[in-house]
Amino acid sequence: DVKVTQSSRYLVKRTGEKVFLECVQDMDHENMFWYRQDPGLGLRLIYFSYDVKMKEKGDIPEGYSVSREKKERFSLILESASTNQTSMYLCASRSGQSAYEQYFGPGTRLTVT
């Protein structure tokens, strides 16, 4: 059974804190993604990675960075959390071909106060 796990289901942080969100997949997928999901806006791509140490900006990368040191792990970093980064964060992974399914983790509900 395929699995994508995320380090926390719920997280509360203060404005200005550095926040780390971890994602691990066990399917040996090349591609990994970070999205945020907000009501009425759907899923928006923050960053993705198609290989170890490779990363590409998505549609809304401002205020975020990522790290992929190992194939199975993709981390999202909020350098200085702000209240407008309060959201649901979803990690996903996918095999190389474009027609393949994306598998999502359970999500992290981040609240920045």
Partner 1 sequence: RKEVEQDPGPFNVPEGATVAFNCTYSNSASQSFFWYRQDCRKEPKLLMSVYSSGNEDGRFTAQLNRASQYISLLIRDSKLSDSATYLCVVRTGGFKTIFGAGTRLFVKA
Interface region with partner 1, contact rule CB under 8 A, candidates 20-28, 62-70, 71-79, 96-104: 96-104
Distances in whole angstroms, Cα of residue 46 to Cα of each of 22, 42, 52, 97:
14, 13, 17, 20
Q: Which of 45, 71, 72, 86 binds partner 1 (CB under 8 A)?
A: 45
Asked whether 61 and 103 are in contact (CB, 8 A), the reply is no
DSSP 8-state symbol, 39:
T
Residue 105 touching partner 1 (CB under 8 A): yes
Interface region with partner 1, contact rule CB under 8 A, candidates 18-26, 67-75, 76-84, 102-110: 102-110
Give the residue among 60, 59, 37, 50 at the shortest CA–CA distance from 107.
37
DSSP 8-state symbol, 45:
E
Residue 87 touching partner 1 (CB under 8 A): no
Residues that bind partner 1 (CB under 8 A): 31, 33, 35, 40-43, 45, 48, 50, 56, 90, 98-99, 101-102, 104-107
